[in-house]
Every structure is written in C-alpha cells, then in structure tokens.
Structure 1
C-alpha cells in the first residue's frame, strides 16, 4: 500500500510548512498534529528498487546504496553559475538571499501567484534546467520530526514506503551532515538521492550560508522513503529517500 503526503520545506531556517493541492482543505497550523496521509492508489507505477546490501548503525539497518552514492558537494564541485543569463542569476541569487519565502509561499498556494512572482519562478526554472545532474547525487537537509509525525521508533519506521511531494523549489545541503538549526526542537535529517538528469544547481557564491554547500533542486519533486534509522552519533532519526524521476 502506498501513501502520499505533501511536505514543504523552507530554506536556511529549515522550518517546514504543509499545504494541500489547490482546492483542498486549508493548511493545518504547525502546532496541530499532522493527519494520517491519504491513500492514493496508483500514484506511481512501482516501488523504486533498493540496491543490494545493508549495513548496521545504531541497531538499525539502512541501505548501503545511500552510503556509496556521491555527495553533491564533491560531485558538483566544478559547477559554476556561468551558464546562467544575467536575469536567471539575479533571480536565483535573490531567491537564495531571502526571496524564497515569497516565491515558495506562492508555489505552495499559501499566497496569491502574481505575474511578478510567476516571472521570477520562470527565470529560476530556466536557470536550473541549464544544470541537469550528470549522475545521481546525495543531498541532505535538517527538518523537524514533528512534521513527519515521528514520536517514537514505531512512528519513524512507519514512514517507510510513503511518498511525499514538494511543490516549491527544494533547497538542500550537499554535505552528509547539514548545518544544525536551533529552530528545530526535535531535528531529523532527510537524506535524498537525486537522480541523474534532475535540474539542480550548487549555488556556491550565490548562497547565503556557504557552509551549507547549498544545492537548489527544481520544483514539483516527489520523494519516496526507502528507510529510516536512528543515528546514534547525532542522536536523531535519519530518513533516507529517493527523489522520483520526472519529465523535465
């Protein structure tokens, strides 16, 4: 049985919002418990294959494929913004330096989509599409356990085989351990494998937080949770997921 949730991720402060598709019920405030995800038969054709081999950490198994795939910080080290037009560069930089709040809210249907915001989105998409990933890479982000309904081991492991949707651009970190955010009372690490061909740009000099090694992934991504395990070293849950391939 497959489940699908919509999750929305903010950048830098790494807080999260949740919103449904247009016409669905109003988004729930963050202080309310998340509802159980709706069952959506036939959302995806099949379950992504896990690569063979597992390793043990903290008493939990996790799939070796995540550990063997390259991190984006190393794999995309040679990426530069020189392919961008002046307008694309300006809009991506403006997004990275604070404009993300306005843009993402509109993309998630939380605020009206204006012609000005739509032009900005078109420019950012156009810029990102100049950078299809040459190979699959691994990225991470810190988020809040409450937004996934994680309260104990059972609820954490129940996330396996669920699908989530992000309508806005997805800001991630190219390193294995993303920067710690004091805004998260119960932090978890979301670790994503992004397939080759997905438009994604290592922001580098355009980013606000350099140590984040930020990688901006194009919008309208679905990700499928493959495994969840407790990272004893960092005392937090780690969610491992695969971003689904989409027509570009």
Structure 2
C-alpha cells in the first residue's frame, strides 16, 4: 500500500520517533502508531474526558486471554491527550500507550525475555536474542484492534497511516514459527537465524481506510517483517483473510 504521507504528518511522525528514542535511551523496543491522514497537529479529534475512550485505553481489546496483548494500566490526562503506563517502579517504562487529542495513537513496549519469550542463538561465542513469532504478530493485531475501535467511536473519515518499528535491535533475529511445529524444528536444525545488522528496523508505513481490517493489516506488517529477515514463507499465524490462528 502506498503510504502517501503528507509533509505535516511526516514531520509530526519524525518528532514522535525522536521523542521515543530520547525516552528509551538505547534500550530495545517495539513501537506501533496509527495517525489520521486528515491530520492537524492543533486540532482536537478525541475527547479525552470521554469515559468510553478512557475505558478503551484502560482495557484494550486483547484477542485472547493468556495471549500476547497490551497490558491493562490506568490512563492519565496530559496536556496532549491520554497516557496509559505502569506506575510500579519495576515495570515503569516497559509499556506506554498514548492517545493524543489529534487522534494519533501509539504503543511502545520494551523487548525483554518475560514479555517477548526470547530465545538465543550463538554466533562466534556471543548470544543473540531471537524474537518469538507470537508477540510479533499478536501485539500489532491487538494495537490495530484498539485503533479501529477508537476510529469507529469518532467516525473518523478518510484513512490512517500505520507504522511499526523495532528500535535498538542490532544483532537480533526472528523465530518464524511457533514451538512444537515442523517449521520451528527445521529453523533450529538448520540454524537459520539471520541477524539484523542495523540499530533500528522500521517497516514501510501503510495507508488504509479508517474502517480497517485489523487482521489484514497485522498480517501485512508481519509479512514485511518476515521478508526483512529473509523468510520466504508468510507468517504462519494468519490465514489468507487475515484471521489470526494461534
């Protein structure tokens, strides 16, 4: 899909990315964002006092219990909108969900062993993290479901820009199949784990209509991520219609 990003949106998204990099300070994170194309940085699309919106951020629409989703935290108001993040010190900065008044929605999650079920592959005596297939598919799916519900609430017209990036992931790899599958066993047997050679991995932005299909969009994001790591087979957790099949 052609993103067709307007200059004002592009500058805004660059600013959001820089703020993310300043905040995470070299730590590995997954970042997702959704931005209305009829963008005006000074406009108020979202009513941050709306109890339905607050509750959506408090209880994001996760696909399944026990899956890889967006953790539930209590939103608070900021001058720009709503922020939902942990206030317990041990979990602080591990997840940040933010909805701005102008309709921009973003999620950043720290990549760690507990949250991403990371395994390791050894290269020249050094262990490299291997990202697991499930969180890399299911977290974007749940983010897109949340964005879709917010869009339906405000009947936003036009289209949105969706972005996904992995930051500070030099030397990381990807496990392309779920455990206890033939694909998983084959990947480990063949030691087929290409390592990412740059600091950041940002996927091409996609532009879709506001009434987006979260499953198809998540499938498209995952498909590009798989191609970036050199896998020819598509992500195994989505069928041809974008239905998630854990």
TM more than 0.5: no
Higher strand share: 1
TM-score tier (shorter):
under 0.3
TM-score of the aligned structures, taking structure 1 as reference length: 0.28
